[in-house]
């Protein structure tokens, strides 16, 4: 049977296991599903290899940047289960995954990648609607992220 309401990055797959908060945003536009971190002022900024203070996935867009602290957005925070799209094949449930700075892609260990958490579930199903055991490129996975 077709999934009529498929989850996308930024959606809340398990509300009971989600830490959802409203976070102030630095002077940047925000894209639903993209992972952000906090700067020294406590505002959300793009993730870079040298600046990581928590991992937050936006649940909505903010198209106009505004000034630092002017806008805020709801986010899934550390210790949440988040949806990501894989960019590599061969990932399995329980495997450690990493996020490449400034993207929403879950990948294996690569240069400048940051630890995200473990795959909790492969969300994409096989063509016969059975659960997948191994990911393919473009599959959706639910990742249980690490705490601060």
pLDDT in tens, 69-81: 899 999 999 999 9
The pLDDT assigned to 120 comes to: 96
| Confidence band, pLDDT 50/70/90 cuts, at residue 92 | very high
| Rg of the Cα atoms in the chain | 15
Which distant-in-sequence residues (6+ apart) come within 8 Å of 121 by Cβ? 13, 93, 141, 142
E strand map for the chain: 20-25, 35-38, 44-46, 56-58, 71-76, 81-86, 96-99, 105-107, 114-122, 140-145
The pLDDT assigned to 54 comes to: 84
The arithmetic mean of pLDDT across residues 24-42, rounded, is 92
Contact between 90 and 141 (Cβ < 8 Å): no
The arithmetic mean of pLDDT across residues 50-59, rounded, is 83
Does the pLDDT at position 57 exceed 50?
yes
Percent of the chain topping pLDDT 90: 58
pTM (2 d.p.): 0.89
The pLDDT assigned to 146 comes to: 84
Mean pLDDT score of the chain: 87
């Amino acid at each position: 049977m077709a999934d009529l309401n498929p989850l996308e990055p930024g959606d809340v797959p398990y509300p009971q296991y989600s830490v959802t908060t409203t976070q102030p945003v630095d002077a940047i536009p925000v894209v639903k599903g993209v992972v952000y971190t906090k700067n020294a002022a406590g505002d959300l900024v793009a993730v870079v290899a040298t600046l990581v203070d928590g991992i937050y996935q936006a649940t909505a867009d903010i198209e106009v940047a505004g000034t630092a602290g002017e806008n805020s957005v709801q986010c899934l925070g550390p210790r949440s289960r988040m949806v990501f799209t894989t960019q590599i094949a061969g990932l399995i449930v329980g495997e450690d995954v990493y996020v490449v700075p400034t993207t929403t892609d879950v990948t294996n260990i690569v240069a400048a990648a940051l630890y995200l958490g473990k795959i909790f579930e492969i969300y994409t199903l096989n063509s016969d609607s059975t659960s997948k055991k191994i990911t393919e490129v473009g599959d959706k996975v639910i990742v249980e992220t690490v705490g601060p």
